[in-house]
Chains A and B, each alone.
Chain A
Amino acid sequence: MKRIDDMLERLKGQIPEVSDADALTDSIMAAIEETEDRKPVTVPMWLSVLRTVSSVAAVVLMVLFVQLKSEITFQEENAETVYLEVVSEECEDCSPAERYNMRIEKMRLMNRRKVLKERYYANSDF
């Protein structure tokens, strides 16, 4: 492999010349100036902290809203079953007629609240 080795040895340490070294230096210095001009404005520390905190707070509020909303919807959808359970717990010794009356009374109360809520939203600008 003498010839291959000789050839590789001859290439060792040879430094190719830059065709226009001064022009390359100038372009490098110009590029440095340009990048310095384009340097982004540094944001104050308190502003970046405020941004982070408000973003986290917004996410937490959103999660709480979704959770509360789903809980209310679940309660409204299952009101009848819930009242049946509540009535049977509250009034263990009552007769079936009394239990029925109590349940009706509670449901009427709930419906009244619902009607009031609907009226409130109907009158408001929402």
Chain B
Amino acid sequence: MQQIDADIICRCKAGDKTAFRSVVQNCQGMVYSLSLKMLADVEEAKDVVQDTFIKVWQNIGSYDDRYGFSTWVYTIASRLCLDRLRKVRPIGPTETDERIFETVADDSDPERQLESSEWVSVIKVLADELSGKQKLVFTLSQLEGLETAQITEITGLDADQIKSNLYAAKKNIRERLIKMGYEKD
């Protein structure tokens, strides 16, 4: 998670747009990452990034310094993603998505960084049948690598709920991958 200086946040609260620009530059990557993995659509993800920072700017006066700034930004972004998921009917994975997924899965290079378009295909194949909550917990925990305490702060779910949603999401993904012919052993 990105760390932002308290001084920069104070300047943002005072209405300094130059300071806010640096916040956007620092945090837009993590918001884009979350929204792309949640929505599996580059343009939708960019829209969510924009909406998130508009909300952050409009509500920065009410931001409580006791909580992490990145956590607060993640909370806003994840709510916007869930709203979008409710409104938009997801399009299932195409044959191209499955082909791209197989290429990514078979790649032996552990250092390889995925392109946005590859992420879209991977998410469509992996998380197509997950509910919004399962997708959010899976993304935050498995793909973003956040701790349970951080996920609790972002989603408002307790540890047990996170555990059960993550279990259900992983089970669904495993079943899906086994159907696609991936290894059981």
Contact = CB atoms under 8 A, between A and B. Distances in A.
Contacts of A24: 28, 32, 46, 49-50
A59 interface: no
Contacts of A8: 142, 173
Contacts of B24: 25, 28-29
A38 to B, nearest CB: 11
B62 interface: no
A61 interface: no
Interface stretch (A15-23, A82-90, A117-125): A15-23
Contact of B57 (A10, A21, A27, A32): A32
B183 A12 contact: no
B60 to A, nearest CB: 11
Interface in B51-76: 53-54, 57-58
Q: Which range contains the number of B residues in contact with the other chain?
A: 35 or more
A8 to B, nearest CB: 6
Contacts of B10: none
Given A8-B142, A28-B54, A16 B33 contact: yes
A28 B49 contact: yes
A35 B104 CA distance: 41
A1 B173 CA distance: 12
A25 B27 CA distance: 10
A7 to B, nearest CB: 5
A11 interface: yes
B174 A14 contact: no
A1 B185 contact: yes
A13 interface: yes
A11 B112 CA distance: 10
Which of A2, A10, A31 has the largest number of chain B CB atoms within 10 A?
A: A10
Interface in A78-101: none
A29 B116 CA distance: 23
B143 interface: yes
B29 interface: yes
B144 interface: yes
Contact of A2 (B42, B50, B144, B185): B185
B184 to A, nearest CB: 7
B144 A13 contact: yes
B154 interface: no
Interface string A31-57: 110010000000000000000000000
B88 interface: no
A25 B17 contact: no
Interface of A: 1-4, 7-8, 10-19, 21, 24-25, 27-29, 31-32, 35
Given A8-B142, A10-B110, A21-B28, 9 more contacts: A1-B185, A3-B182, A4-B182, A13-B145, A15-B33, A21-B29, A25-B25, A29-B24, A31-B53
7 contacts: A2-B183, A11-B143, A13-B143, A16-B115, A21-B29, A28-B50, A29-B17
